[in-house]
Amino acid sequence: MTNEKLLSDFKDVLKKEGLKVTPQRIAVLEEIIKDKGHRESEDIYMAIKSRKTHVSRATVYRTLDILVQNGFARKLNLGDGRARYETKIDSPHHDHIICNECGKIIEFVNDEIEKMQEEIAKQHHFKLQQHIHQLFGLCKECQ
């Protein structure tokens, strides 16, 4: 998806929800699509500030929520007390392998596991809604 299309989609969503298009909101969207990584709110806040747009932490959090709520971003909990956000645009579902030493994050997908999860849920009469699957260990460099 082109950045122009994305921006226009975002504006449409804001309009549809009765929200205003502000430079702060645009800046957060731009940060999320610019860097494909798994970023902390603080990083995004700093990146925006270090450029031109005046923004507050509160607004970054609020905008990230909007992005997550509307399918532009995904929020991850890696268990270290700080949420990470990654773009969801052109990014199908995947899970993560995290290095306990250097924090490197690698993405993986395994259709077999995805299928099995559904079966396990069914066995226990659960209607599956989401899942968290994270592998932790030492990356090649950190072993």
Partner DNA sequence: TTATAAATGAGAATGATACTCAATTATAAA
Partner DNA sequence: TTTATAATTGAGTATCATTCTCATTTATAA
**Residue 108 contact, options Mn ion, Zn ion, a second copy, none, Cβ 5-8 Å cut-off depending on partner type:** a second copy
CA–CA separation, 79 and 82 (whole Å): 8
> Are the C-beta atoms of residues 72 and 58 closer than 8 Å to each other?
no
Contact between 69 and a second copy (CB under 8 A)? no
Contact between 100 and a second copy (CB under 8 A)? yes
CA–CA separation, 55 and 45 (whole Å): 7
Size of the site for a second copy (CB under 8 A): 33
- According to DSSP, residue 39 is labeled E
CA–CA separation, 86 and 40 (whole Å): 9
**Residue 107 contact, options DNA, Zn ion, Mn ion, none, Cβ 5-8 Å cut-off depending on partner type:** Mn ion
- Per CB under 7 A, residues contacting DNA are 14-15, 18-25, 40-42, 54-59, 61-63, 65, 81-83
Q: Which helix (H) or strand (E) holds 33?
A: helix 23-34
Contact between 78 and Zn ion (CB under 5 A)? no
Contact between 31 and Mn ion (CB under 5 A)? no
Contact between 86 and Mn ion (CB under 5 A)? yes
